[in-house]
A and B are shown apart, each in its own frame.
Chain A
């Protein structure tokens, strides 16, 4: 199980903070759940899912590197979470997706990095606009939390500054 952190603390040492990912079998998902849906599922059956999870549940989008973040724009108000998947730590598409969500589309909700999320990429991920991180299960939480302090200064403008300015 991954370990969920934000920039300051451990949020869930054994999972995704109550979120489950839809992987094709709707029967597994109880009403009232917090569900992460792939983009296609969300665009096509979003209404059905909304009714299914009800007022006590919540919907989130799980984007891959190939997804166009602009397509979730109309759904922002409906989403309690956007998760961006890193299939491998070396696949950097998620940084551009996060940047676009934060700076172009002004998404202000929770933005989570999931997948191959490792200590040594956290500083960059936070700068690209992520605010929660589902660490790969072998990662050490205290070391990971220290990563956000790797650099005290930075050269360039990035999504984190855009967020700070908008706050």
Chain B
């Protein structure tokens, strides 16, 4: 965990005071609706049809037990007893009361948490690999760099009113688990031949209305220049990005319209003019940040624990969980564990106050108080001793968070959709529930194998439907809810598994047709696959969308 200092505390406290004053002025009529809107969204506050929604930042998804307990307290005291983890490693409260939001922020500030820049046309929470620092395929630990970016981007005076929102993702492993190619800036930390650290820099990726895979504009940016280079990109975008049309205001449109080569030239020129200025990082800048990350206290453990191996042989249920929800760790004898928040009858990513407290307790016992939030809306226990796996499994089982569905169709990603969100064309959660029920059988899920199914309630794509192997998008047709289906999208990961935008299979469907459509897609896949390891998305890549399309429309006619 990153240990915040008195400096960080001062900033969050002063931010609360500032927002308290802004809210009071707004309630007194001294701050217009539009003016207050621009300020409240930069403090994570949306005003929506049912109630306000408050999005709290979880910087790069790293969270401590005391933070979870604070979330539980807020859910109980100011909300309806639950909260929702988002696809951007943040947490949302759906029912706070506007006048009490400053109090919520003050409570959060007691554990150095805040809602700064979780919305609005500014640099948002930087996201990263949920297995940062522990993945066996990691080349560079991205956490230190993510924290540097957090500090640099927090209340940055030049970039608080950009043309549109701005999202940065960073990964440091061979497999990109941070979806860097679909972010405004995607950074991959790597090393050169001499072992020096640098970043591959991609710009202009994104989902939403115009899904685009980013363009790499720098293959290797030496680490000293990270902040200077980010400023160069942001400055070019802030000055030249379109402000005349909200739908064309993201950096991806500027990159596309000006051409990536031209955009890169502008950035390089800006960078050259500033490269050895005050934003150049020194080793001591980086060491100071690195020193504030507490290190997990690892013991010398055998690679595998004999008792656990025996237990797995005896308990099929445990063995399955181990296969899907337990992940390799770079330290021998340790594992990472995903607690699944994808449960029948509960919206994806939702968690109650009692569950937050319970998970915090487990983090204290099993992972030195640390947890990660994933963009798949689950929680990761980062450093579990393998010999403790059966015990943790039993505990998670009791909480209903041990369903072995990570990477399977049961692990549906869904945005809050029409049940909560004003922008939605259609509901997402009931669709996720219907699909989940149809594929409730774990035997079926295991047979189908790896499959990402992502649902967004509108083109804003908070559910990342474009990069789901199967994507579902809510659309509005004559004031009715319809759903468009894409296949072949891929968040990407390993070097031979690039990110791809899914293709629409054809006209949209009514809500009640969706489970059948998904079932037909899957049956078609099962017939077409050449072996068990060929994933749904691999088959689509091999045969194209036609065979799927034919079957689906033949059967729904």
B227 to chain A, nearest CB (A): 8
A151 x B159 contact (CB < 8 A): no
A142 to chain B, nearest CB (A): 13
B162 x A152 contact (CB < 8 A): no
B11 x A153 contact (CB < 8 A): yes
Most buried by A among B11, B227, B238, B277: B238
A90 x B161 contact (CB < 8 A): yes
* Bound: A90/B10 CA distance, A: 26
In the complex, what residues of B have CB within 8 A of residue A121's CB? 161
- At the interface, is chain B mostly helix, strand, loop or mixed? helix
A96 x B238 contact (CB < 8 A): yes
B158 x A158 contact (CB < 8 A): yes
Interface-located stretch among B149-157, B290-298, B352-360: B149-157
B221: Cβ under 8 A from any A Cβ? no
CB-nearest residue of chain B to A118 = B35
Most buried by A among B10, B17, B159, B279: B159
A61 to chain B, nearest CB (A): 17
* Bound: A121/B18 CA distance, A: 12
B279 to chain A, nearest CB (A): 6
* Bound: A124/B117 CA distance, A: 14
B161 x A151 contact (CB < 8 A): no
A151 x B121 contact (CB < 8 A): no
* Bound: A46/B15 CA distance, A: 45
A124 x B157 contact (CB < 8 A): yes
Chain B interface bracket (under 10, 10 to 19, 20 to 34, 35 or more): 35 or more
- Known A96-B238, A153-B11: A90·B121 in contact at CB below 8 Å: yes
B460: Cβ under 8 A from any A Cβ? no
A41: Cβ under 8 A from any B Cβ? no
* Bound: A155/B154 CA distance, A: 7
Most buried by A among B14, B161, B279: B161
In the complex, what residues of A have CB within 8 A of residue B162's CB? 92
A92 x B159 contact (CB < 8 A): yes
B273: Cβ under 8 A from any A Cβ? yes
* Bound: A162/B239 CA distance, A: 21
A155 x B11 contact (CB < 8 A): yes
A92 x B160 contact (CB < 8 A): yes
Interface string of B151-176 (1 = CB under 8 A from A): 11111111111100000000000000
A111: Cβ under 8 A from any B Cβ? no
CB-nearest residue of chain A to B39 = A120
* Bound: A118/B38 CA distance, A: 12
Q: Which of B7, B14, B153, B157 contacts A127 (CB 8 A)?
A: B157
* Bound: A96/B156 CA distance, A: 11
In the complex, what residues of A have CB within 8 A of residue B243's CB? 91, 93
A95: Cβ under 8 A from any B Cβ? yes
Interface residues contributed by chain A, number (CB under 8 Å): 35
A103 x B277 contact (CB < 8 A): yes
B538 to chain A, nearest CB (A): 44
In the complex, what residues of B have CB within 8 A of residue A48's CB? none
CB-nearest residue of chain A to B161 = A92
Most buried by B among A89, A92, A95, A157: A92
CB-nearest residue of chain A to B7 = A153
A95 x B14 contact (CB < 8 A): no
A25: Cβ under 8 A from any B Cβ? no
CB-nearest residue of chain B to A161 = B278
A119 to chain B, nearest CB (A): 9
B445: Cβ under 8 A from any A Cβ? no
A89 x B161 contact (CB < 8 A): yes
A132: Cβ under 8 A from any B Cβ? no
Q: Which of A95, A125, A127 contacts B238 (CB 8 A)?
A: A95
In the complex, what residues of A have CB within 8 A of residue B39's CB? 120
A110: Cβ under 8 A from any B Cβ? no
B239 x A93 contact (CB < 8 A): yes
CB-nearest residue of chain B to A95 = B158
In the complex, what residues of B have CB within 8 A of residue A56's CB? none
What are 7 A-B contacts with C-beta separation under 8 Å? A89-B35, A92-B159, A93-B238, A103-B274, A140-B30, A151-B155, A155-B155
- New A-B contacts (11) at CB < 8 Å, excluding given A91-B243, A99-B158, A155-B11: A89-B38, A90-B161, A92-B162, A95-B161, A96-B235, A103-B274, A104-B274, A124-B155, A153-B7, A155-B152, A156-B154
Q: List residues of B whose CB falls within 8 A of some A CB.
A: 7, 10-11, 14-15, 17-18, 22, 30-31, 35, 38-39, 121, 151-162, 227, 235, 238-239, 243, 273-274, 277-279
Q: List residues of A whose CB falls within 8 A of some B CB.
A: 65, 89-93, 95-97, 99-100, 103-104, 118, 120-121, 123-125, 127-128, 140, 150-162
Top 4 closest pairs, chain A to chain B, by CB: A92-B161, A127-B157, A124-B157, A155-B151
